[in-house]
Amino acid sequence: MCPPDHFRIQYEINPWMDRTHPVSHTRAAQQWNDLRALLEKLGAQVSTLDPVEELPDLVFTANAGMVFQNRVVMAHFRHAERQGEVAHTTAWFEGQGWQIETLPEGCYFEGAGDALFCGDTLFAGYRLRSDVGGLQDLGQMLGVRVIPLELVDPYFYHIDTCFCPLDEKTALYYPEALDDYGRRVMEELVGDLIAVTEEEARRLCCNAVVVGRDVVMNGASPRLVEALRARNFQTHATPLDEFLKAGGSAKCLTLRLDGEEAASWKRSE
Ligand code: ARG
């Protein structure tokens, strides 16, 4: 995670961002600290990346890269506003001894924000941020099956805003953010899919962090809490509305370094 010291709405690169709706620094800091404390309480160990004044979105570490075993595939951001983050996050990974990978020059890729494992399959979003071509290279590089999913709603511009694998066969998703093909593939490949409503999607309920059977998100409806409970997941709501102003929530604010709960490779390590 990266502390929100310099988090603000300085530019607009998605429909959530509006420079006339600034962030309250005090509230953002409180919400970020509460999220971190909650994740630690649930058993996570949190490492931090130093914030950088000129990089307000560095706080969304999910986009730094995609982690696979001891390798990390670094992001190549579509928007110039975020491209400066890469040197900083690459230096962090190098310092920690990770094997750094990059996709071919010229293809955009926004890290774990657009690439999530459910079982042994990597579900990857494209069009609004990442490029479809790069996703095939990614699959070859890692030797995994990649399912590219076209994102059709600009409010759900990364796959982690509309899809959340919970375990190897269970996931939350917002069907309207995908096209017919994407919905069909997902229904075919994920055993137990829980659809969220438009209202839940707009609260970024799919942008949740999963730690074991605990699911952390920015506010959940009783219906969703019950759907998760029925599958033996416990929901923890923690307010993150300051970060919603930038189009991000719990998941975007974290990057799982030991593999997502839902990734089969995590367990075979
Ligand atoms: N303002 C950031 C952007 O538009 C938010 C990134 C949220 N990250 C995510 N993984 N969905 O790039």
Q: 204: domain CATH number? A: 3.75.10.10
What digits encode the pLDDT tens for the residues 107-154?
999 999 999 999 999 999 999 999 999 999 999 999 999 999 999 999
Mutational test site, ligand 1, from 14, 59, 254, max ligand atoms within 8 Å of CB: 14
What digits encode the pLDDT tens for the residues 8-29?
999 999 999 999 999 999 999 9
Q: What percent of the chain has pLDDT over 70?
A: 99
Q: Is residue 234 within 8 Å of 214, Cβ to Cβ?
A: yes
Query: Which pLDDT belongs to residue 269?
Result: 46
Verify whether ligand 1 is closer than 6 Å to residue 66 (CB atom). Answer: no
Q: Is residue 108 within 8 Å of 131, Cβ to Cβ?
A: yes
Distance 244 CA to ligand 1 centre (A): 9
Residue 5 counted as domain residue: no
**In total, how many domains does the chain have?**
1
pLDDT band at 32 (very low <50, low <70, confident <90, very high): very high
Residue 249 counted as domain residue: yes
Residue 160 counted as domain residue: yes
CA-246 nearest atom, ligand 1? 1
pLDDT at 89 over 50: yes
Residue 8 counted as domain residue: no
- Structural domain for 49, as ranges: 25-262
Verify whether ligand 1 is closer than 6 Å to residue 253 (CB atom). Answer: no
Residue 6 counted as domain residue: no
Q: How many whole angstroms separate alpha carbon 125 and alpha carbon 149? A: 5
Residue 267 counted as domain residue: no
List, in sequence order, every residue forming a beta bridge with 173; answer none if it has no partner. 163, 195
pLDDT band at 267 (very low <50, low <70, confident <90, very high): low
Residue 9 counted as domain residue: no
Query: Which pLDDT belongs to residue 246?
Result: 98
Query: Which pLDDT belongs to residue 268?
Result: 47
Locate 266 and state its tokens: 């995590």
Q: Using only C-alpha atoms, what is the Rg of the chain?
A: 17
Residue 75 counted as domain residue: yes
| Average pLDDT rounded to a whole number, residues 19-40 | 98
Higher pLDDT, 193 or 106: 193
Residue keyed to tokens 């459910």: 118
Query: Which pLDDT belongs to residue 266?
Result: 81
Verify whether ligand 1 is closer than 6 Å to residue 58 (CB atom). Answer: no
